[in-house]
């Protein structure tokens, strides 16, 4: 994909692109909206076929952050950064990774707080600790370094609340005895899998990392081939890997009753939400279901919330989803459409356009 394609068709406020010849990495920062406050969203570091694909991912993810912040009632806008690595992170020398983070930190510092980053796929709290040596604009440092630590626990809690609300809307009753298929057993997915087991679900798992599957199998899970995830019968599909799992074509045949997970930008194309709705599959929109991490990072580090307050706000995701499901039923639209409409009305009703500019954080 040419880099012009995603950039020229995007409705966001700002994109910054940099290539660093020293490391071979490309850096993309996408600021979608600062209407509710400074843009925030994690740094994704992985390989992409071309800088165009990396830009497409950054812009799509940044747009989803705007929706996530609006629906979660957080005073931040939407942004995301993508680092297109020359080789997978596991194969990078430690020294090269540090050089990459140095370049990223200097880019962020030049944005003067219009964009705040945090961990995402390919980055973690230790990376945020390192970034904060050279930029003020990173959430999610380790607790030892004065940050709020990993957001994965809050994200998993929110995803599980979303699963319960969706199972209820699908008329399945409780999770006990339901087949729950978790795709991706990373920081979020492994936690959700444990919660499903505790709730009496029959657990199915899929991960490209066989060690993660083995660990789940030892806990009683049945392992599904990664290529079979969207063809495996289950009541609840929980995507917790990377996005784009469900296209309109896949939605036509996917054998489940509920889709609710953590993966950002789960739907590959615009038509997939309508197909899921037409088939009566309850879809919990990703930017609503996975907001626990943003609630944790912004709640703890900007709003000064306690861990208990973060938990209460995260569990409220199930109530938000019930409202979205009701609106969707009443208006005869997909859950995705109803969630986007809710975000749009929060953004339109906001009286604090750009209020976050100049925000300094509390740490």
Which listed option, ligand NAD, ligand PPY, none, makes contact with residue 40 (CB within 5 to 8 Å by class)? ligand PPY
Task: At 226, list the tokens.
Answer: 């990664």
The C-alpha atoms of residue 361 and residue 113 are separated, in whole angstroms, by 10
The single residue among 241, 246, 310, 328 that binds ligand NAD, judged by CB under 6 A, is: 241
- DSSP result, 13-64: SEEEEEEETTTTEEEEEEEEE-SSSSEE--EEEE--SSHHHHHHHHHHHHHH
Pair 32, 70: CB distance under 8 Å: no
Hey, which residues between 30 and 69 contact ligand PPY (CB under 6 A)? Answer: 40-42
Choice between 209 and 252, CB closer to ligand NAD: 209
Please state the φ and ψ torsions of residue 96, each to the nearest 5 degrees. -65, -40
Residue 307 as a binder of ligand NAD (CB under 6 A): the answer is: no
Q: Annotated catalytic, 80? A: yes
Q: Can you list the positions of beta strands (E) in the chain?
A: 14-20, 25-33, 39-40, 43-46, 77-84, 115-116, 179-183, 202-206, 222-223, 236-239, 258-259, 282-283
The single residue among 10, 48, 97, 139 that binds ligand PPY, judged by CB under 6 A, is: 139
How many residues does the structure list for the chain? 363
The single residue among 87, 144, 208, 353 that binds ligand NAD, judged by CB under 6 A, is: 208
Choice between 20 and 28, CB closer to ligand NAD: 28
Question: What 3-state DSSP class applies to 312?
Answer: helix
The single residue among 165, 188, 192, 302 that binds ligand NAD, judged by CB under 6 A, is: 188
**Closest C-alpha to 41, from 349, 308, 290:** 290
- Choices 99-107, 125-133, 203-211, 352-360; region in contact with ligand NAD by CB under 6 A: 203-211
Choice between 155 and 334, CB closer to ligand NAD: 155
Catalytic member of 68, 80, 249, 322:
80
The C-alpha atoms of residue 270 and residue 289 are separated, in whole angstroms, by 18
The single residue among 83, 182, 193, 262 that binds ligand NAD, judged by CB under 6 A, is: 262
The C-alpha atoms of residue 77 and residue 65 are separated, in whole angstroms, by 7
The C-alpha atoms of residue 236 and residue 261 are separated, in whole angstroms, by 9
Choice between 100 and 262, CB closer to ligand NAD: 262
Hey, which residues between 270 and 299 contact ligand PPY (CB under 6 A)? Answer: 293-294, 297-298
Choice between 66 and 334, CB closer to ligand PPY: 66
Tell the smallest beta-carbon distance from residue 258 to ligand PPY (Å): 21
Which listed option, ligand PPY, ligand NAD, none, makes contact with residue 314 (CB within 5 to 8 Å by class)? none
Q: Give the residue numbers marked as catalytic.
A: 80
Residues that bind ligand PPY (CB under 6 A): 40-42, 118, 120, 139, 151, 264, 293-294, 297-298
């Amino acid at each position: 994909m040419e880099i012009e394609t995603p950039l020229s068709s995007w409705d966001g406020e700002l994109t910054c692109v940099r290539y660093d010849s020293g490391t071979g990495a490309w850096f993309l920062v996408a600021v979608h909206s600062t209407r509710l406050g400074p843009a925030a969203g994690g740094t994704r570091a992985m390989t992409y076929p071309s800088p165009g694909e990396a830009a497409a991912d950054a812009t799509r993810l940044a747009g989803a952050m705007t929706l996530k912040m609006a629906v979660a009632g957080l005073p931040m806008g939407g942004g995301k950064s993508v680092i297109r690595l020359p080789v997978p992170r596991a194969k990078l020398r430690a020294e090269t990774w540090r050089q990459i983070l140095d370049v990223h930190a200097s880019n962020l510092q030049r944005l003067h707080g219009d964009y705040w980053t945090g961990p995402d796929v390919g980055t973690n709290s230790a990376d945020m600790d390192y970034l904060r040596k050279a930029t003020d604009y990173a959430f999610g440092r380790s607790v030892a370094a004065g940050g709020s630590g990993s957001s994965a626990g809050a994200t998993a809690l929110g995803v599980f609340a979303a699963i319960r609300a969706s199972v209820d809307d699908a008329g399945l009753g409780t999770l006990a005895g339901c087949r729950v298929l978790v795709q991706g057993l990373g920081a979020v997915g492994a936690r959700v899998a444990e919660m499903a087991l505790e709730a009496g679900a029959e657990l199915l798992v899929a991960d490209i990392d066989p060690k993660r599957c083995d660990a789940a199998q030892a806990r009683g899970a049945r392992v599904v081939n990664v290529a079979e995830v969207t063809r495996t019968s289950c009541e609840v599909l929980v995507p917790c890997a990377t996005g784009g799992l469900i296209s309109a074509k896949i939605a036509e045949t996917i054998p489940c009753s509920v889709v609710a997970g953590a993966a950002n930008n789960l739907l590959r194309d615009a038509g997939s939400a309508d197909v899921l709705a037409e088939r009566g599959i309850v879809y919990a929109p990703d930017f609503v279901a996975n907001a626990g991490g943003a609630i944790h990072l912004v709640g703890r580090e900007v709003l000064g919330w306690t861990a208990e307050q973060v938990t209460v706000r995260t569990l409220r995701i199930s109530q938000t989803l019930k409202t979205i499901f009701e609106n969707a039923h009443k208006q005869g639209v997909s859950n995705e459409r109803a969630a986007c409409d809710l975000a749009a009305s929060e953004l339109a009703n906001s009286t604090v356009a750009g209020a976050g500019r100049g925000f300094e954080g509390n740490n």
